[in-house]
């Protein structure tokens, strides 16, 4: 596939380091970016914080520059890898920079078959534990209808209309990965010669590590099917990158393992992380319930991308279980999540893989993680409309009646348009079937304050108006919607749901 190496025309991504940064040292100081932009504005909001994890009260700013390295506490450093080649390269560079440059383009040597146990600095507890329970399959899709492939509608429109600023080019949340995804979809598994060749084919056109990683992430969605039979039978056999490539079947461990191998051949630094995932079968603990012992049922990845360690879950990104059937549905949120967003549903056995610094309240304890109150039920359209789960208010599934309730909604990042012309009407449907539109607030999101009389109980839903008068309803004004209820043909779709009690 020599043509795959032809450079593709594409927008700029974050500045790339010519040499991947080494894993952070234990002594690393933690620099925390001061809240700016949307975070600072949100911090000034009087948000409804009932029952919310105090760690969430100060939303994290969207990183625009490489954030600090993974936080270190008493935890060991990430396993140093490829140090020998890199030392050699440095030595070579002293006497022959050009040779060093050529060598640096070569992929690293193949990983040792049991490379997760190869680092002597890795403590025993870092070793992948045998699952104490079945691995966590992808979360149940919270969809009422099948989801189309990811759309980049908003970003494209922003580009066309000049909304996208320079700084947004380095924003993972709104970067347009459609060309990367299109490239990654051109290598069907059945035609792949080897893990190494696949890694090179997938990543060759891309200069940035973020795009390389995304190509691997998207390929896994297209080509590896969740092994539903193995999961439900409990008959889980060990996998290797090669065996996963050949079978096209994996549970979380197989996805994470193949990602690491592909990443290494592509010259990226990636680790497999094991721990607990709140996937299928997870239910929030009842308030006051005893804290269950820490357990491990899931695996994902920690990847160095353009100077920043990030977390991704290619298993959950690839699809989801619907009942006992697997739906191959792409979930890009598991590539773009910040560590704090990721940590809501992932708890690594080694806390250093949380990537949450002490200044940001990290590391999160098992108790904080597993006893977190139940969140509102969020549907896929919430994500596809580019809203950020972390900032949704109320943040808990239950809402108390007998007072005012504040609803707040924010886009994934501040580069995304909030103009009426680029958005739909968002409204709250109360149990009495009253409909209250959310209005743009001064903090860059949407809000509504609604009085919920005592005794009113039932579902409260957040919806967006999809069609108005048999046309797409984007750009409809809240006033027009409100005055047209019962007079015009309209359709709407739920984005999330609470329980009023």
Footprint of Zn ion (CB under 5 A): 168, 171, 173-174, 413, 415
Backbone angles phi, psi at 326, to 5 degrees: -95, 135
Q: Which is nearer to Zn ion, 279 or 332 (CB)?
A: 332
Backbone angles phi, psi at 269, to 5 degrees: -100, 125
* DSSP of 395-412: -SSEE-SSEEEEEEE-BS
Rg (C-alpha) for the chain, rounded Å, is: 23
Query: Closest approach of Cβ 435 to Zn ion, in Å?
Result: 30
225-226 vs 249-250, strand pairing mode: parallel
Count the neighbouring beta carbons within 10 Å of the beta carbon of residue 77: 19
Whole-angstrom distance, CA of residue 236 vs CA of residue 227:
9
The two structure tokens encoding residue 3: 């043509």
Query: Closest approach of Cβ 173 to Zn ion, in Å?
Result: 5
Instruction: Give, in degrees to the nearest 5, the angle at Cα 256 between 60 and 181.
Output: 70
Query: Closest approach of Cβ 30 to Zn ion, in Å?
Result: 24
3-state secondary structure of 358: helix
The two structure tokens encoding residue 318: 């690839």
Q: Which is nearer to Zn ion, 169 or 420 (CB)?
A: 169
Query: Closest approach of Cβ 422 to Zn ion, in Å?
Result: 14
Whole-angstrom distance, CA of residue 170 vs CA of residue 8:
18
DSSP 8-class letter at 114:
T
Whole-angstrom distance, CA of residue 126 vs CA of residue 78:
10
Whole-angstrom distance, CA of residue 36 vs CA of residue 213:
28
Whole-angstrom distance, CA of residue 480 vs CA of residue 485:
9
The two structure tokens encoding residue 131: 């699952």
Query: Closest approach of Cβ 21 to Zn ion, in Å?
Result: 23
Q: Which is nearer to Zn ion, 345 or 415 (CB)?
A: 415
Q: Which is nearer to Zn ion, 41 or 276 (CB)?
A: 41
Is 218 in contact with 185 (CB distance < 8 Å)?
A: yes
Q: Which is nearer to Zn ion, 353 or 387 (CB)?
A: 387
Whole-angstrom distance, CA of residue 470 vs CA of residue 412:
29
Q: Which is nearer to Zn ion, 121 or 165 (CB)?
A: 165
Query: Closest approach of Cβ 473 to Zn ion, in Å?
Result: 25
Distance from the Cα of residue 373 to its chain's centroid: 20
Query: Closest approach of Cβ 146 to Zn ion, in Å?
Result: 27
Residue 274's nearest CA partner among 364, 350, 367, 368 is 350
Q: Which is nearer to Zn ion, 64 or 126 (CB)?
A: 64
Is 377 in contact with 142 (CB distance < 8 Å)?
A: yes
3-state secondary structure of 469: coil
**What's the longest Cα–Cα distance across the chain?**
79
Q: Which is nearer to Zn ion, 314 or 336 (CB)?
A: 336
Q: Which is nearer to Zn ion, 173 or 474 (CB)?
A: 173
Query: Closest approach of Cβ 220 to Zn ion, in Å?
Result: 24
Q: Which is nearer to Zn ion, 154 or 350 (CB)?
A: 154
Query: Closest approach of Cβ 180 to Zn ion, in Å?
Result: 16
Query: Closest approach of Cβ 168 to Zn ion, in Å?
Result: 4
**In the bound complex, which residue of the shown chain has the CB atom lying closest to Zn ion?**
171
Query: Closest approach of Cβ 348 to Zn ion, in Å?
Result: 26
Is 304 in contact with 269 (CB distance < 8 Å)?
A: yes
Q: Which is nearer to Zn ion, 413 or 430 (CB)?
A: 413
Assign residue 212 a region: left if phi > 0, alpha if psi is -120 to 50, beta otherwise? alpha
Q: Which is nearer to Zn ion, 170 or 461 (CB)?
A: 170
Query: Closest approach of Cβ 62 to Zn ion, in Å?
Result: 6
Q: Which is nearer to Zn ion, 63 or 174 (CB)?
A: 174
Element (H, E) at 491: strand 490-500
Whole-angstrom distance, CA of residue 183 vs CA of residue 11:
15
């Amino acid at each position: 596939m020599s043509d795959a190496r032809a450079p593709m025309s594409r927008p700029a991504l974050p500045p790339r380091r010519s040499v991947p940064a080494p894993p952070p040292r234990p002594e690393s100081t933690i620099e925390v970016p001061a809240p700016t932009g949307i975070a600072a504005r949100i911090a000034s909001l009087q948000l409804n914080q009932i029952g919310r994890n105090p760690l969430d009260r100060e939303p994290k700013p969207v990183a625009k520059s490489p954030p600090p390295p993974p936080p270190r506490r008493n935890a060991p450093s990430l396993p140093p890898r490829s140090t020998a080649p890199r030392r050699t390269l440095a030595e070579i560079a002293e006497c022959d920079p050009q040779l060093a440059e050529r060598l640096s383009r070569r992929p690293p040597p193949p990983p040792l078959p049991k490379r997760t146990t190869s680092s002597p600095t890795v403590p025993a507890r870092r070793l992948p534990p045998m699952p104490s329970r079945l691995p966590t399959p992808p979360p149940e899709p919270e969809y009422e209808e099948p989801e189309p492939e990811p759309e980049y509608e908003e970003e494209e429109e922003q580009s066309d209309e000049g909304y996208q600023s320079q700084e947004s080019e380095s924003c993972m949340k709104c970067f347009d990965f459609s060309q990367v995804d299109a490239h990654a979809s051109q290598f069907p598994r059945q035609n792949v010669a080897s893990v190494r060749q696949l890694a090179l084919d997938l990543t060759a056109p891309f200069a940035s590590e973020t795009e390389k990683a995304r190509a691997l992430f998207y390929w896994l969605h297209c080509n590896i099917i969740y092994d539903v039979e193995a999961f439900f039978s409990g008959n889980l056999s060990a996998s290797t990158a090669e065996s996963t490539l050949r079978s096209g079947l994996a549970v979380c461990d197989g996805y994470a393992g193949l990602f690491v191998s592909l990443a290494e051949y592509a010259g990226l630094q990636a680790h497999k992380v094991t721990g607990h995932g709140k996937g299928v079968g997870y239910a929030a603990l009842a308030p006051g319930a005893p804290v269950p012992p820490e357990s491990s049922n899931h695996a994902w990845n920690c990847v160095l991308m353009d100077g920043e360690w990030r977390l991704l879950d290619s298993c959950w990104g690839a699809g989801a279980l619907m009942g006992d059937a697997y739906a191959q549905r792409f979930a890009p949120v598991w590539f773009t999540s910040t560590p704090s967003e990721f940590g809501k549903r992932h708890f690594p056995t080694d806390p250093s893989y949380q990537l949450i610094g002490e200044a940001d309240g990290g590391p999160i304890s098992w108790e904080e993680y597993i006893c977190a109150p139940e969140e509102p039920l969020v549907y896929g359209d919430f994500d596809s409309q580019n809203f950020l789960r972390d900032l949704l208010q109320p943040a808990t599934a239950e809402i108390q009646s007998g007072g005012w309730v504040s609803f707040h909604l924010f886009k994934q990042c501040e580069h995304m348009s909030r103009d009426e012309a680029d958005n739909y009407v968002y409204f709250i449907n109360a149990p009495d079937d009253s409909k209250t539109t959310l209005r743009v607030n001064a903090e860059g999101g949407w809000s509504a304050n609604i009085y919920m009389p005592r005794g009113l109980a039932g579902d409260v839903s957040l919806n967006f108006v999809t069609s108005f008068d048999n046309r797409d309803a984007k750009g409809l004004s809240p006033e027009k919607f409100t005055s047209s209820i019962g007079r015009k043909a309209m359709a709407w779709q739920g984005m999330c749901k609470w329980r009023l009690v």
